[in-house]
Structure 1
Amino acid sequence: MKFAMIGAGAMGLRYGILLQEAGNDVTFIDTWQPHIDKIREQGGVYVMRDHKDRHLTKIKLETPETYDDDPDMLIFFTKQMQLEDYLKRCEHFFNDRQYAFTCMNGMGHIEKLQKYFADDKIIGGTALIATVLPGPGEVDFMGKRGAGMMNMCPLNEKPDDMCYQLFNELKKAQMNPTLTNDFTGTLMTKVIFNSVINTICTMFEIPMGEFGNFKGAYQMGRQLIDEAYDICARAGIHLVSTRDEEMAALDHNTRIDMPLHYPSMYQDMIKDRPTEVDYINGYIANLGRKYHYEAATHLFVTQAVHLAEYHRQNEAKRRAAEKQRAEIEAQTAQTA
């Protein structure tokens, strides 16, 4: 199959490189100039697995403006707040034959894709796969080859030949896909999972295992999960796991599968990028209000993450001011 990977960040690179290694034609499309420059300078991306075996992998890389091919499948792996801009810039090579697939975190992206693609051409999914982008031009796949799993479901919940082709290519790439039959329930189950792991680890700047091994982790997680499940029940959303199954998945993922991993929201915050908390906990809270349910814990957590962002911004300003003051004092001492 011919793929266009829209967004060459951590997850975009992982999916795209593994699909490329499985024999597919993949072109990456990105807008982050330092990343683009580094990849072109190196002749590819440096790939690691669990910080080891660093090696160069050649890839095809374009910007939205320079890409003019006709892929079978467009895979979207941008941040929620970036997607609208990417879609506008890529619109010139979209057509009604193509399919759009995404496993992006949070909610809100499907409605944006619907402005450009028909419902029977949109496939959504979720991924329990850890990947880190240490810097421009390099990516670190966390876990052994074949680690992690994902769910996928067409928006119209009617898999066609292209959906099955995508499933088979993802299986060959060892992404461990499962084809589900409930679109919204599939996506919301992962949003709820992220509403615990991503936000709490980001607020306290801790790896997932530190949260999982904390004696109060179950109570904290259960409070967020119960609110979200209550809201989904009111909204008529049928989640693909029970509350207890979700808690068991959280425990296993944090303590056993990826105890040393920092979630993507944390990676955004420490690099002074906006987090996606409004599309995760904030989305759950807004959905609750729509159905007359006040999700007090999700509202609190949303603002707590924003407070952590605000604190880091203020600390950065303080450090910059101290550095400037020190430089002025040093210059004054030299001229005295």
Structure 2
Amino acid sequence: MTVGILGAGALGCTYGGYLHDAGESAHLIDVWDKHVEEINQNGLTITSGADERVVTPRATTDPDEVGVVDTLFVLVKATQTREALSNAAGVVGPETTVVTLQNGLKNVEILSEQVAEHQIVSGSTMVGATVTGPGSVRLYRVADTVVGGDDADRAREVVSLLEQTPLPASMVADPRAAIWSKQLVNVAVKPTAALTELPNGALVASEHVLSVMDQLLSETREVAAAAGIALDESDPLDRVIDACERTSEKHSSMLVDIEQERETEIDHINGTVAEYGASHGVATPYNDLVTALVHGKEATYLD
């Protein structure tokens, strides 16, 4: 099977590298020239614990070199989805399955502007990885990937693909609950990290920050319920605390975006909670506030 990976960041390299190692024809598509050159010249190094392997997927900055693929994993930041998919339109045919495992709550809606909705498989992953340099990625957490979609056969095919790798995968009839469940962590951690500039462990060590996180979570769960999305967690704050304590020295990706003066995903996370809240008559003052404040920080460096 021919697999395209749109966005060769940490997750893109992990999925693409392992799929290539499993015998699939994987093509990494990214805009980082040095990263692409290193992969093509010396291979992609994936480190997981004591295991280090070098795999040799093809990498390119030009999607037209790839041609139409059977399956396309879209793993760019949510803010880049429209442009990236438009630039890579030539890799998507009428039978291509397009998979999103991105952060954010509107990925299917954005993809469906350019791809038929029955071709889209969406879901969430708790796999944790980081790019350590050009052509190199470190996997620090192996966890389940959950997918589903309008076309159950396509979702099963994605699970079968991933089952060839060390990354476990499963299928659900409706992936929205899995997507929103993961975003509970992001809703609480990402904006508070961006605004306080604290690493994850310090965030949850502060009672003041925890109080804000709790309000963000409460609003998000109320919005999800109003939208008909059943979340089964009684106290997601415990999961947020556990996740932050396990990555205590790590800077959340939204804080990294602020530090590196990039556009953040705030509109696709807390901003979307506020948007859904408005459409369902649920007040979201905390999500409104953090969205506005993160935009205020962005305004100090974005044109």
TM-score bucket (shorter structure):
0.7 to 0.9
Tell me if 1:228 matches 2:220: yes
When residues 10 and 200 of structure 1 are mapped into structure 2, their CA distance, relative to the original with a 3 A threshold, is same
Q: Percent identity?
A: 24
Matches within 5 A, 1:289-300: 289-300=278-289
Number of residue pairs the alignment of both structures matches: 302
2:26 equivalent in structure 1: 26
1:167 equivalent in structure 2: 159
Contact 2:17–2:44 (CA<8 Å) still a contact in 1?
no
Q: Secondary structure at the match of 1:223?
A: helix
The residue type equivalent to 2:9 in the other structure is G
Structure 2: how far apart are the matches of 1:248 and 1:179? Answer: 26
1:206 Cα deviation (Å)? 2.8
Tell me if 1:198 matches 2:182: no
Contact 2:20–2:55 (CA<8 Å) still a contact in 1?
no
Contact 2:78–2:104 (CA<8 Å) still a contact in 1?
yes
2:78 equivalent in structure 1: 80
Which runs of no fewer than 5 residues in structure 1 stay unpaired?
315-336
When residues 134 and 309 of structure 1 are mapped into structure 2, their CA distance, relative to the original with a 3 A threshold, is farther
Contact 1:148–1:175 (CA<8 Å) still a contact in 2?
yes
Contact 2:20–2:56 (CA<8 Å) still a contact in 1?
no
1:65 Cα deviation (Å)? 4.1
When residues 140 and 204 of structure 1 are mapped into structure 2, their CA distance, relative to the original with a 3 A threshold, is farther
Contact 1:206–1:262 (CA<8 Å) still a contact in 2?
yes
Structure 1: how far apart are the matches of 2:91 and 2:268? Answer: 28
Structure 2: how far apart are the matches of 1:53 and 1:307? Answer: 43
Q: Secondary structure at the match of 1:172?
A: coil
Matches within 5 A, 1:112-261: 112-143=110-141, 147-154=142-149, 156=150, 158-160=151-153, 162-216=154-208, 218-239=210-231, 241-244=232-235, 246-256=236-246, 258-261=247-250
Structure 2: how far apart are the matches of 1:208 and 1:169? Answer: 33
Match of residue 279, structure 1, among 268, 276, 290: 268
Structure 2: how far apart are the matches of 1:270 and 1:58? Answer: 32
TM-score by length of 2: 0.88
When residues 170 and 238 of structure 1 are mapped into structure 2, their CA distance, relative to the original with a 3 A threshold, is same
The residue type equivalent to 1:75 in the other structure is F
| 1:280-308: CA deviation from partner (whole Å, max 9, x where unpaired) | 01111111111222311111112232344
1:102 equivalent in structure 2: 100
1:54 Cα deviation (Å)? 6.9
1:238 Cα deviation (Å)? 2.5
Structure 2: how far apart are the matches of 1:8 and 1:293? Answer: 37
Structure 2: how far apart are the matches of 1:180 and 1:262? Answer: 31
| 1:246-281: CA deviation from partner (whole Å, max 9, x where unpaired) | 23322322224x333333222322222211011101
Match of residue 63, structure 1, among 45, 61, 64: 61
Structure 2: how far apart are the matches of 1:141 and 1:233? Answer: 34
Moved more, 84-93 or 203-212: 203-212
When residues 174 and 307 of structure 1 are mapped into structure 2, their CA distance, relative to the original with a 3 A threshold, is same
Moved more, 53-62 or 129-138: 53-62
Structure 2: how far apart are the matches of 1:310 and 1:131? Answer: 29
Structure 2: how far apart are the matches of 1:124 and 1:175? Answer: 17
Q: Secondary structure at the match of 1:133?
A: strand
Structure 2: how far apart are the matches of 1:44 and 1:254? Answer: 32
Q: Computing the radius of gyration over CA atoms, which structure comes out larger, 1 or 2?
A: 1
| 1:210-237: CA deviation from partner (whole Å, max 9, x where unpaired) | 3234445553332111111112222223
Contact 2:155–2:171 (CA<8 Å) still a contact in 1?
no
Q: Secondary structure at the match of 2:88?
A: helix
2:253 equivalent in structure 1: 264
The residue type equivalent to 2:214 in the other structure is R
